Amino acid sequence: MRPRKIKLVAKAFGFKMPLCVGKIVKYADVIQPETKLVCPACGAEPKWSGGYSCSCGATYKHWSQLKRVLSDGTEVVKKKLTEGDDVEADVYVMDKSEFAKYCDAALNEYGLIVEDANSALNLKKLLIALERLDKVILVRFNDTYEERIAVLTVNLSNRVILKEIIPLNIAEIRETMKVNMDDVSETELAEAEVFIKQLPKATEQLLYVNDYRTLGIEKARVSEKVLELEKIIAIAKQQ
């Protein structure tokens, strides 16, 4: 998805009803430090010609064989932060009103699956705090070479998600919109209800595309497996 102007319209009774006009913007990026790749042998910048060739006579087949340095010559060293495959994450809680002051621009999103009943019970308590107590659940852990910060959340299809966010000290934030839904009046709620009834109903077919990305895909659709916390907890209670 690239930045562009977008007009939101709804098709109803054969007519297009304009809703709003806006712009699609990417509101945050990871700040990329100014670095350069140099020859490990002499520190000069090699030239690319089917490989990396340096004035000192050294040659390299891949950029990973070079040394990455800052503009002042300091080497960028990736210090390993983990041992083994499993990681332990620290969990923190923050009031949603406090968290709203900051940026939670997503870097990546991942599903979270638990298997035992105790984990399911505790996860549900965290999600209840998120949904009913206006809390934000933050998770922080080391991932090989990088520190990760994620928000434990639920997406629109009720999947439990770890939304990795860009750390504030390496985030480049652009101007976007925020909305406060705390002071919605009964009148506004009634108007929204009438308004939404005028929009056409979405069907499953809306969730498919017919562009170049579908070319070459011939696999039969496989039913997705959904794990529900309630089922895990119920089975444990029966046992």
| pLDDT score at 39 | 95
**Which H or E element spans position 137?**
strand 135-143
pTM exceeding 0.85? no
| pLDDT score at 219 | 64
| Cβ 54 vs Cβ 42: under 8 Å | yes
Average of per-residue pLDDT across 189-200: 87
| pLDDT score at 86 | 87
Q: Which two tokens stand for residue 102?
A: 């900051």
pLDDT of 17 > 80? The answer is yes
pLDDT of 16 > 70? The answer is yes
| Cβ 44 vs Cβ 55: under 8 Å | yes
pLDDT of 225 > 70? The answer is no
| Cβ 181 vs Cβ 192: under 8 Å | no
Number of H helices, E strands in the chain: 4, 14
| pLDDT score at 140 | 92
- Dihedral sign for Cα atoms in the order 87, 90, 94, 100: negative
**Which H or E element spans position 204?**
none
| pLDDT score at 3 | 82
Q: What is d(CA 174, CA 27) in angstroms, rounded to the nearest whole number?
A: 5
Q: Per-residue pLDDT tens for 129-177?
A: 999 999 999 999 999 889 999 999 999 889 999 999 989 888 888 877 7
Tell how far CA 152 is from the center of its chain: 11
Q: What is d(CA 193, CA 57) in angstroms, rounded to the nearest whole number?
A: 73
